[in-house]
Structure 1
Amino acid sequence: MKSTKELEQAAKHFIQKYKDKSNEKSSAQSFWIDFLGIFAPNPTEKIEFEKRVSLSHTSFIDAYIPHAKTLIEQKSSGIDLNKAKKQSDGSELTPFEQAKRYNDELPYSQKARYIIVCNFDEFHIHDMENPKDPPQIINFADLTKQIHRFTFLSQSKNDELKALALAKQSELSFKAARLIRQIQDELIALYAAATPSGEPSEQDFASINMLLTRLVFCFYADDSGVFARHDMFGAYLATHKANMRQAILDVFSMLSTPEHKRSKFADPELLAFPYTNGGLFEFYDENIPQFNDKLAELIIDKATFGFDFSLISPTIFGGLFESTLNPETRRSGGMHYTSIENIEKLIKPLFLDKLESELDEIIAIKQKDTKDKKLIEFQKKLGSLCFFDPACGSGNFLTQTFLCLRELENKALKERFTDKSGTFQGVLEGFDTCGICVDINNFYGIEINSFATAVAKTALHIADKQMRKATNELIHANLEYLPLRDFENILCANALNVSWHEHCPKADFIIGNPPFIGARMMNETQKADLIKASNNAKNAGNLDYVTAWFFKACEYMKQNPATKTAFVATNSICQGEQVALLWKPLFESGVSIDFAYTSFKWDNSVDFGTGKKEKADKKMAAVYVIIAGFSLNNSSEKYIFTGNSRILVSNINGYLVDAPNIAIESRSKPLCDVPEIRKGNQPTDGGHLIIENEDYADFITKEPKAKKYIKRLIG
């Protein structure tokens, strides 16, 4: 993607060329080819004109940009873009309504995310993600300053293919998570039936979580070539279905036993399972029930033989796997599923964009020897970077970061082992695991939930296996995967009560999505943790829980000044009284905000490319968040992201605007002679007195007499 300055310069030339506009037909095509050329090379190959669409008659879309999912309705200069005009079928439509009608008739895969209506004087940008919102209106004369609002046109074909692949992985990962939840439900029922109270104990839930984690690894190993034969685990369980409990215990025991310590008289089928190590099967847990027929069917027929776990995304699946926890447990802990798109909003401006640009510059070097030397240095640089997520949940930030870095390393490896014509030359003799520099042991996390901790470790191991397989296929190497390496970097603890520096002595980047819990929703323990993390800052009890991680990160960076941090957080920390309570002391300690995403909706749902989104937790309320990247380095280039816009600014203050670091502190008295407000309209009932729209109809059907007691909630 071009820099802001490059875009502005190109826009300036465009304005000069088209300042004398003509009519729609004679100028539209050259106008849009040149305009798209500001953002993308070879624009004539990336835009379609007069695209046919069938209404009650055949009509034509003026212009359509497939890779950016953008539909253009072009009118002549002077035409009022807000005025309806009679159409050939007698209807009266504004230019936007006309374009929207075309868009509605397109196949789902071609439907536009953006509709641009233009008359050469103005551009009206409609984002169909929010179809009821008013359009962004940009005057032609202001294009130089407003060109960043069109950066969605920069999307490449590779991005589109990546998005399609991600949608497929999302669909498969969600199906896998639902399957695991079915297995979990059956296990809970079996444990409950064997417990006098009728409820599994805390130890039972720990055993269920460990069993699920181990089963998931075996399902993945069965499908991805980790085990000696495809479906090896499933075939063994099917053979020993009569006593499946013991069969599973025997497999787990064998996976944790090195070959030289195994009995030569053991079952040959068991001896065929490789030594796994890595702590995953280290502890022998006999607290496993006898499996009934339904559970056996789910594990053998549905999971091992009926589903391919090798195709899942470890990042997506990790978050969804975590969602098998009781939703109440998830909400009380403040955990949220995080999409890959939202993860990359944080990691790309923090470090990934710079690394990608650096690799592209190296690949452009003509001299092969010089290029190879630089590529090796780049690999070593990637391998030296250390990442730390002190609220890692199921590890999706760490896992996605690992995958992105390994993709860069694979790209570097491919370049090293191909000649100028792109022909594969072969890998160096003796190239093995040591030739890979990015290692999961450079990824650290802290997580309070033991099950999520286990999921995070498993997700990283699966990501490691997937990327080794990709490396093998890319450069015809033969990287071994087993035994797993010991991996103790994910600590199960309360991140606010342990030393980050002792757990992770020198992180280059701190990343993550700390718990979203409002100032009035914390329990006493959480409130005490926050006050301690803030060093008893004045009125710290009025801050959201997430701010504790900001204070802890600031203390960490004082010991490691080169460390950069970026967190997702509730948008309230950049509004009202919290700005003075949080950002004022951080700025005074030397912190500066390097980049920020202004408020956007945190969507805990997965789009399978069908137009429907299925929530990881349907009861979870909508949350509006910001992303703040900050450090002690006071970066010379600071960016504010709003939607698809990226704006270069001179400073980012606590309100996430380009302005000096001021903070409006709370007042004890009103500015004028009005009654003093003690507390505003703030629902702090925990949701117990609020009924959601989707529940209302069902409730009234069951309790019609309650209707008169339910009033509309207005905030």
Structure 2
Amino acid sequence: MTDFMSFVDKGEFTELFEELGWDQAPRSLKPVSVQRITVGGTGEPEVTAEPVASQDGLTVWVVRSTSLPSVTLQRSVDDKVRQFSAVRLIIFTDGTHQSWRWPRSGATAATNQRLLHHHYTVGNEEQHDDLARRLAMIELKVGERIGITEIQARMAKAFNDEAVRRSQQASGHMKRMNQTLLDADVSTDSASSLLVRLLFLFFGDDTRMWPTDTFQNWVLHHTTGGNIHAKLTELFGVLCDPELDGCLVAPGEKRKGRYAGTEFEDFRRIDGLYRERVELPQLNEDFRQQVMEAGDFDWAKVNPDIFGAMFQQLVDPAQLREMGEHYTSEENIQKVIEPLFLDEYRQKFEDAYDDREALLEIQDELASLQFLDPACGCGNFLIQAYKHLRGLEFEILTRADELETSELKELITLHNSKQKKVKDITDVRRRYAELTSASIEFGDDVLRSSKLSMRQFFGIEINPWPAKVASTAMLLVDHLCNQAWGENVVRLPIEETPEIVCANALRTDWHNVVPDSFRRLYVFGNPPFVGQYTKTSEQTADMKQVWGKDYDGYLDYVTGWHAKTKDLLADRTGDFAFVTTNSITQGQPVPALFGPLYREGWDIKFAHRTFAWDSDAPGQAAVHCVIVGFTRNPLAVKKPTQRSIDQVQDAELNAAMAATVEQRLWDYALQKGVPHEVPLTTGINAYLVDGPRVLVKKANKPMSVEMIDARYGSKTADNGHLIVETTEYAVVAADPVAAKYLRPFVGSRELVRGLNRWCLWMEGADPKDISRSPLLKERVAAVREFRLNATTTGDAYKLRSTPHLFRPNPKRPSTDYLCIPSVVSETRPYFTAAQLPAETIISNAVFSVEDPTELSFALISSSMFIAWQKAVGGRMKSDLRFSNTLTWNTFPVPGLDGKTRAAIIAAGQGVRAARALHPDRSLAKAYDPNTMDSELIMAHDALDLVVDKAFGADHPLSTGRERLAILFANYMELCSRQGE
């Protein structure tokens, strides 16, 4: 560690990270220069950020200057650098002082800044040891190679560890108090209400809302284990009493009113938060001690952003699952609010940087906006939006005051030099003195100039306790924002709060929640995810109500919020964006959701393709998400229509609509990795693909004449009694009667992984055989018992009279056939299908295609098909889910001439031949992207050349994006030919 710090002290950062085992920065990265110019051409000198090291996508930049740049300039440098390094560490140094800045991760960062920063001064022993410890955490051992996810985790641990530890400690205090309350038979609602109030008091003690430790000392000196429940109830009443204001006096003045000289005189009136009465039973000394221990903790160091995750731990995970609730990390929230509105206003700030009037107009515009999270939970989205907007307003007002100061100074100089006689010079000098002296607190001055209000923020939440947490957390964030501006800024009693409505959002009229009195409304959030087969009857009823005739049964519950937002903004100006399950951009739900949105003039403003969920709570939800933001297309607004869903596939209209909306798209090389922005040529469609606005709908038969029906396999409906596993095979094969009916049995797992499984296939069996074989007799009896006890409306019960047979399947192949798995891994470079002999029975987890020419095998084995599958097919979690109606029947194969067809078939046979070189390998092993044989790769490359050309490519294709452009064009052509 000492060796590391010697490099740090000498400013030798390239050598430092080389010693840490990191790679050199890529040569493609060039130094980045940033300068802030103020009025009159004066200002901070230009600074340059140089890349000095990199590790798996995380780059270290160094900025050297004669003095450390201001926070504003440091942020500007970071904004510029992040265009080249999404994940970065920036070190600012003047030779003696250093500021290590790392983009915060999660909800544990400082409240009022976008970057974590760690200061180091050469020679400071305490800082020396602290930084040495952090550097040791990101050292790579000789030969050690890690990915971007791991290096990010190490950086977060090294530079966020203290904040994370504090958050965990805060959560621990809440959990202990909550459990004691529940053990005392306090209801969940009452316990949550009490804990929210205590949280506010803890925070007030440590953030100078009143004299430090006022509440802590009150608990210590004025309560006992026997009366703490009654004393807390009394305190809550006092905190709502206007008489308490008499105790708020200037230093040296005498306090007045009924509470002067009492145990309550040091408190401040809070009011609104405490009006509702909380019923508490007799508590005990254990609870009092837990309150005292929590009070000893420094709550000023805990970010209010984590309150939602903290309170989530107090709730039954099963209840959260039923409600579809998933808590969102700060990182994911920023993916929503930045492209939805923050980036736009930050850019406006940059554009108006030297124009005071324009800056103040931006402030007025910010004050005219409304923000709604209609599934707000504990308010994480509202907190982040408010916090960042307050920070932006602070920068605007700070810059406006800088410009005003410069203008006033220039006027005074001109007047004093008699170059110009300035009218009202006395007022000019007084204002200049205010801005440049300590005659007023700058924070107080800026706060008086602030126009942003919590009344601009609205939320809807179905559960009472998260709604209370949301309101409280917003108030605390407001207080911390105020503290960042002025040492003594406290807005008590509470006179303004966000409007958080506790209600079922899908049963509530949002027009009554958000008044139509502002300029523009932004709707955003993380609505609950509940899939097609897990919705409750009440949730299904909600969906039918909000979607009306557009509801087709396949939409995830989350899309109910799209419907309600669409209705709310029908006669208002605004945009919206939600974090959702990725199923809304896959398969059958796509036309059902995007059709009505397109029809009413909505278009995609921005999107994040599938990424793995990152919640701030332990036991976080395991889901794969997308983010899609929407805006009303100006063309649609000017020329409103009621086009049918089918008509949104009109090519001319698509081109005109896409040209009027500036879209942004992010993708992920790894689902837990870092997003990178994707350049667009055509525009983002409903499948989050750069292509025309097309909606692929199910087709009951193949749309292309080149395609053959894909049919389901056979359903057993037997509870496993007609299936023979590997461990059972020897016993069944030893039975001379049962052995006659043994047949290979293949589902998706068996096909892809090369596993052995069998079934008892007794179609056409001699009834006497069942009687002669105790094994068959026992198994058939077990099937009969299962089917007799099954639901009377289901398939199994209907088959109770033929317990020896599978469910009838008249379309079961009678010749050799192509077998297609219903699910394959997302990592497969090609879709893994295979030919099987007629005697092999397949389950309903696979499909069969009669493929005598082997054309179907060649087509499904091509890159063109897997590109189509990934774009329009459904998913099971992140794996690819095959559908005969959605991906197979719609696969837009153009008409083929005999020569082209023969070439495709021959290339497909080349793939089969390459597979046959290793007959012992399963499809899973053969198509492992890390170990595919060169012969198999070359065979697929040869197949792709032929197939791509047949589909219309005029040059060799190398990406799925290129293929999708052709596929969507071909699909639209097929639709037009069929009168769609």
Q: TM tier, shorter chain?
A: 0.5 to 0.7
- Is 1:604 matched up with 2:604? no
Go from structure 1 to structure 2 and tell me whether the alpha carbon gap of 1:625 and 1:130 turns closer, same or farther (over 3 Å shift): farther
Q: CA deviation at 1:445?
A: 0.6
SS of the residue corresponding to residue 297 of structure 1 reads: helix
Letter in 1 for 2:667: T
Go from structure 1 to structure 2 and tell me whether the alpha carbon gap of 1:621 and 1:464 turns closer, same or farther (over 3 Å shift): closer
The equivalent of 1:85 in structure 2 is none
Instruction: Tell me, yes or no, if the aligned pair for 1:557 and 1:631 is still in contact at 8 Å.
Output: no
The equivalent of 2:577 in structure 1 is 566
The equivalent of 2:136 in structure 1 is 107
- Is 1:518 matched up with 2:531? yes
SS of the residue corresponding to residue 549 of structure 2 reads: coil
SS of the residue corresponding to residue 595 of structure 1 reads: strand
The equivalent of 1:548 in structure 2 is 560
Letter in 2 for 1:665: K
The equivalent of 1:443 in structure 2 is 457
Instruction: Tell me, yes or no, if the aligned pair for 2:613 and 2:621 is still in contact at 8 Å.
Output: no
Instruction: Tell me, yes or no, if the aligned pair for 2:457 and 2:499 is still in contact at 8 Å.
Output: yes
- Is 1:128 matched up with 2:151? no
Instruction: Decide which of 630, 638, 642 is 2:663's aligned counterpart.
Output: 638
The equivalent of 2:167 in structure 1 is 173
Q: CA deviation at 1:259?
A: 1.8
Q: CA deviation at 1:222?
A: 1.0
Letter in 1 for 2:663: K
Go from structure 1 to structure 2 and tell me whether the alpha carbon gap of 1:632 and 1:163 turns closer, same or farther (over 3 Å shift): farther
Unaligned runs of 5+ in 1: 1-28, 54-62, 72-104, 117-125, 132-151, 153-159, 192-199, 366-370, 606-615, 682-712
Q: CA deviation at 1:668?
A: 3.4
Q: Which whole-Å deviations, capped at 9, do the CAs of 1:82-133 have from their partners, x for residues lacking one?
A: xxxxxxxxxxxxxxxxxxxxxxx97324669xx99xxxxxxxxx952179xx
Go from structure 1 to structure 2 and tell me whether the alpha carbon gap of 1:428 and 1:317 turns closer, same or farther (over 3 Å shift): closer
Q: CA deviation at 1:327?
A: 1.7
Q: CA deviation at 1:217?
A: 0.7
Distance in 2 (CA, whole Å) between partners of 1:646 and 1:167 is 29
Q: CA deviation at 1:496?
A: 0.4
The equivalent of 1:292 in structure 2 is 284
Instruction: Tell me, yes or no, if the aligned pair for 2:245 and 2:269 is still in contact at 8 Å.
Output: no
Q: CA deviation at 1:680?
A: 13
Go from structure 1 to structure 2 and tell me whether the alpha carbon gap of 1:190 and 1:30 turns closer, same or farther (over 3 Å shift): closer
The equivalent of 1:662 in structure 2 is 694
Instruction: Tell me, yes or no, if the aligned pair for 1:554 and 1:586 is still in contact at 8 Å.
Output: yes
Q: Which whole-Å deviations, capped at 9, do the CAs of 1:126-176 have from their partners, x for residues lacking one?
A: 952179xxxxxxxxxxxxxxxxxxxx9xxxxxxx99998866444423321
The equivalent of 2:964 in structure 1 is none
TM-score, normalised to structure 2's length?
0.50
1:414-493 to 2 correspondence within 5 Å? 414-418=398-402, 419=405, 424=436, 431=445, 433-473=447-487, 479-487=489-497, 489-493=499-503
Instruction: Decide which of 328, 352, 356 is 2:342's aligned counterpart.
Output: 352
Letter in 1 for 2:302: I
The equivalent of 1:628 in structure 2 is 628
Distance in 2 (CA, whole Å) between partners of 1:623 and 1:552 is 24
Distance in 2 (CA, whole Å) between partners of 1:512 and 1:585 is 21
Instruction: Decide which of 287, 294, 319 is 1:329's aligned counterpart.
Output: 319
SS of the residue corresponding to residue 274 of structure 2 reads: coil
The equivalent of 1:270 in structure 2 is 264
Q: Which whole-Å deviations, capped at 9, do the CAs of 1:7-43 have from their partners, x for residues lacking one?
A: xxxxxxxxxxxxxxxxxxxxxx999566333798999
The equivalent of 1:577 in structure 2 is 588
The equivalent of 1:140 in structure 2 is none
Distance in 2 (CA, whole Å) between partners of 1:632 and 1:680 is 50
Distance in 1 (CA, whole Å) between partners of 2:395 and 2:245 is 40
Instruction: Tell me, yes or no, if the aligned pair for 1:206 and 1:451 is still in contact at 8 Å.
Output: yes
Distance in 1 (CA, whole Å) between partners of 2:373 and 2:716 is 36
CA RMSD of aligned residues (A): 3.7
Instruction: Tell me, yes or no, if the aligned pair for 2:607 and 2:628 is still in contact at 8 Å.
Output: yes
Instruction: Tell me, yes or no, if the aligned pair for 2:457 and 2:498 is still in contact at 8 Å.
Output: no
Letter in 1 for 2:530: I
Instruction: Tell me, yes or no, if the aligned pair for 1:640 and 1:648 is still in contact at 8 Å.
Output: yes
1:647-686 to 2 correspondence within 5 Å? 647-649=678-680, 650-669=682-701, 672-676=708-712
Letter in 1 for 2:560: A
Q: Which whole-Å deviations, capped at 9, do the CAs of 1:166-188 have from their partners, x for residues lacking one?
A: 66444423321232111101110
- Is 1:412 matched up with 2:396? yes
Distance in 1 (CA, whole Å) between partners of 2:25 and 2:215 is 61
The equivalent of 1:304 in structure 2 is 295
The equivalent of 2:543 in structure 1 is 530
Q: CA deviation at 1:595?
A: 0.5
Instruction: Decide which of 198, 205, 217 is 1:235's aligned counterpart.
Output: 217
Distance in 2 (CA, whole Å) between partners of 1:293 and 1:530 is 49
Go from structure 1 to structure 2 and tell me whether the alpha carbon gap of 1:38 and 1:44 turns closer, same or farther (over 3 Å shift): closer
SS of the residue corresponding to residue 321 of structure 1 reads: helix
Go from structure 1 to structure 2 and tell me whether the alpha carbon gap of 1:261 and 1:43 turns closer, same or farther (over 3 Å shift): closer
Instruction: Tell me, yes or no, if the aligned pair for 2:49 and 2:61 is still in contact at 8 Å.
Output: no
Instruction: Tell me, yes or no, if the aligned pair for 1:579 and 1:663 is still in contact at 8 Å.
Output: yes
Instruction: Tell me, yes or no, if the aligned pair for 1:362 and 1:374 is still in contact at 8 Å.
Output: yes
The equivalent of 1:694 in structure 2 is none
- Is 1:47 matched up with 2:57? no
Distance in 1 (CA, whole Å) between partners of 2:580 and 2:197 is 32
Go from structure 1 to structure 2 and tell me whether the alpha carbon gap of 1:411 and 1:31 turns closer, same or farther (over 3 Å shift): closer
SS of the residue corresponding to residue 656 of structure 1 reads: coil
Instruction: Decide which of 184, 193, 209 is 2:178's aligned counterpart.
Output: 184
Instruction: Tell me, yes or no, if the aligned pair for 1:501 and 1:556 is still in contact at 8 Å.
Output: yes
Instruction: Tell me, yes or no, if the aligned pair for 2:528 and 2:557 is still in contact at 8 Å.
Output: yes
Distance in 1 (CA, whole Å) between partners of 2:690 and 2:716 is 29
Q: CA deviation at 1:593?
A: 0.4
1:61-76 to 2 correspondence within 5 Å? 65=61
SS of the residue corresponding to residue 530 of structure 1 reads: helix
Q: Which whole-Å deviations, capped at 9, do the CAs of 1:395-420 have from their partners, x for residues lacking one?
A: 00001000000111111232233445
Distance in 2 (CA, whole Å) between partners of 1:679 and 1:209 is 49
Q: Which whole-Å deviations, capped at 9, do the CAs of 1:45-89 have from their partners, x for residues lacking one?
A: 53337x9x9xxxxxxxxx965795679xxxxxxxxxxxxxxxxxx
**Higher alpha-carbon deviation: 642-651 or 420-429:** 420-429
Go from structure 1 to structure 2 and tell me whether the alpha carbon gap of 1:178 and 1:677 turns closer, same or farther (over 3 Å shift): farther
Distance in 1 (CA, whole Å) between partners of 2:476 and 2:496 is 14
Distance in 2 (CA, whole Å) between partners of 1:403 and 1:167 is 22
Q: CA deviation at 1:663?
A: 1.6
Distance in 2 (CA, whole Å) between partners of 1:678 and 1:449 is 45
Q: Which whole-Å deviations, capped at 9, do the CAs of 1:215-259 have from their partners, x for residues lacking one?
A: 1111111111112x1111011111133222222122111101112
Go from structure 1 to structure 2 and tell me whether the alpha carbon gap of 1:168 and 1:396 turns closer, same or farther (over 3 Å shift): farther
Distance in 2 (CA, whole Å) between partners of 1:387 and 1:236 is 39
**Higher alpha-carbon deviation: 647-656 or 428-437:** 428-437
Q: CA deviation at 1:317?
A: 2.0
Distance in 2 (CA, whole Å) between partners of 1:271 and 1:603 is 45
SS of the residue corresponding to residue 457 of structure 1 reads: helix
The equivalent of 2:605 in structure 1 is 594
Distance in 2 (CA, whole Å) between partners of 1:678 and 1:652 is 39
Q: CA deviation at 1:384?
A: 1.6
The equivalent of 1:7 in structure 2 is none
Unaligned runs of 5+ in 2: 1-22, 36-45, 63-80, 90-133, 247-256, 410-431, 635-659, 669-674, 718-822, 825-875, 877-980
1:357-396 to 2 correspondence within 5 Å? 357-363=347-353, 365=354, 371-396=355-380
Go from structure 1 to structure 2 and tell me whether the alpha carbon gap of 1:441 and 1:240 turns closer, same or farther (over 3 Å shift): same
Instruction: Tell me, yes or no, if the aligned pair for 2:604 and 2:628 is still in contact at 8 Å.
Output: yes
Q: CA deviation at 1:488?
A: 5.9
Q: CA deviation at 1:647?
A: 2.4
Letter in 1 for 2:708: C
Instruction: Tell me, yes or no, if the aligned pair for 1:372 and 1:416 is still in contact at 8 Å.
Output: yes
